């Protein structure tokens, strides 16, 4: 690996090797040698490349419940319509 490069991709989900704190890479700044991550609960953290490497991050599947970092009212009709459609599509995919 060349100097200044890291094994992280924006939009991909990871977790540290030593715990289950799921997070997504939201920004990489090669000039500043930093990476910004957002944990599932919404907290954002900026790490230097050395801090990223110290995490020993493992790529993970995105969470099934995408609402973690967002303040979504589950009583909102738009959310309920989306949730119902997602459930129906999931059932349809499994039945194929």
- Please give the class, per CATH, of domain 1-63: mainly beta
Tens-binned pLDDT, residue by residue, of the chain (96 aa): 344 567 899 999 999 999 989 999 999 999 999 999 999 888 999 999 999 999 999 999 988 876 665 565 556 555 556 666 676 677 777 776
Sign (positive or negative) of CA dihedral 18, 24, 26, 29:
positive
Residues 16 and 55 sit within 8 Å (Cβ to Cβ): yes
- Domain extent listing, the chain: 1-63, 70-96
> What is the Cα–Cα distance from 96 to 86, expressed in whole angstroms?
16
- pTM for this predicted structure: 0.66
């Amino acid at each position: 690996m060349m100097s200044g490069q890291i094994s992280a991709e924006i939009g991909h989900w990871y977790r540290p090797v030593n715990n289950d704190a799921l997070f997504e890479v939201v920004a990489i700044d090669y000039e500043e040698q930093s990476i910004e991550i957002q944990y599932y609960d919404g907290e954002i953290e900026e790490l230097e490349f050395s801090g990223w490497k110290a995490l020993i991050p493992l790529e993970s599947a995105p969470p099934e419940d995408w609402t973690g970092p967002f303040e979504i009212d589950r009583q909102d009709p738009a959310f309920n319509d989306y949730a119902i459609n997602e459930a129906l599509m999931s059932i349809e995919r499994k039945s194929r």
